[in-house]
Amino acid sequence: MGHAKNKKKPGRYRVRGRIWLESAGGTLLGNGRAVLLENIRDLGSISAAARSLDMSYAYAWKLVDAMNRESTTPVVERSTGGRGGGGARLTPAGVRAVEAFRAAQNAFDRFLDEQTEELRL
């Protein structure tokens, strides 16, 4: 999950975990969805993002659609009708959601390292 393994205590226990952002409508964003949004942001289309993640377009679209429904405002907007079916980009709400998740994930990685250090097992 990106946090460093504790090299001073080989074979000892570690605290691991995962976090996600949740709205009243359900899970908005965990690590997998955040990576998808980051790829849409960087590549400019859902199909290119799906390809870069070895994910089917149908599955990527299903995730985007779920996020758009579960967010108070959509996180991805599509420009239909362009060449190749048009592109997609993050809305300001989508940019903020990814940034908020990454900030929380970075704090969580530090939390897991601290808790692992404090384990007395």
Binding-site ranges for its own copies (CB under 8 A): 11-24, 28, 72, 93, 96-97, 100, 103-104, 107-108, 111-112, 115, 118-121
76, β-bridge pairs: 90
Helix or strand run (H / E) with residue 88: strand 88-90
Cα separation of 36 and 32, whole Å?
A: 6
Cβ of residue 38: shortest distance to its own copies, in angstroms?
Answer: 17
